[in-house]
């Protein structure tokens, strides 16, 4: 799972290939190499939430990924793998949202804002 996730998040020797943005890749086989072709790619920036979806699909180990434009369903091989995917994707969503927020600098002492304008 960990090596698959590293490959899935686009953490490669050439980060510029991904414009500095994380991407979630999924593959046909569990053996992933640098030469493997992904079956699909989802930019982490477009991901909103991820959660279990057994009740929606009536399938064991199912989970759902909500993006700005789609809802996607996946089925893991075990409960642990499902939880690992949900946790890993969720952490990536949070890390991406923090990097966007952290880049918006506010100087509270002078009431000047660099980036988005605050709602004060």
Q: Bridge-partner residues for 88, per DSSP?
A: none
Confirm whether pTM is higher than 0.85.
no
The per-residue pLDDT for 26 is 79
What band does 55 get if pLDDT is binned at 50, 70 and 90? very high
Cα separations in angstroms, 14 against 20, 35, 51, 56, 120: 10, 14, 31, 38, 41
The residue extents of the domains of the chain are: 2-97
What integer is the mean pLDDT of 14-23?
Answer: 54
- What class is the 2-97 domain? mainly beta
Which stretches of 1-120 are assigned E, i.e. beta strand? 23-26, 40-43, 47-52, 62-67, 71-75, 105-107, 112-114
**Residue 69 pLDDT greater than 60, yes or no:** yes
């Amino acid at each position: 799972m960990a090596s698959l996730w590293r490959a899935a998040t686009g953490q490669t020797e050439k980060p510029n290939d991904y414009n500095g943005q994380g991407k979630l890749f999924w593959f046909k086989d569990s053996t992933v190499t640098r030469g493997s072709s992904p079956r699909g790619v989802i930019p982490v920036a477009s991901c909103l939430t991820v959660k279990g979806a057994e009740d929606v699909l009536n399938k064991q180990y199912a989970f759902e990924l909500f993006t700005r434009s789609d809802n996607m369903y996946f089925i893991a091989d075990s409960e642990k793998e499902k939880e690992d995917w949900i946790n890993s994707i969720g952490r990536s969503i949070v890390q991406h949202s923090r990097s966007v927020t952290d880049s918006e600098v506010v100087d509270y002492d002078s009431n000047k804002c660099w980036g988005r304008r605050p709602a004060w």
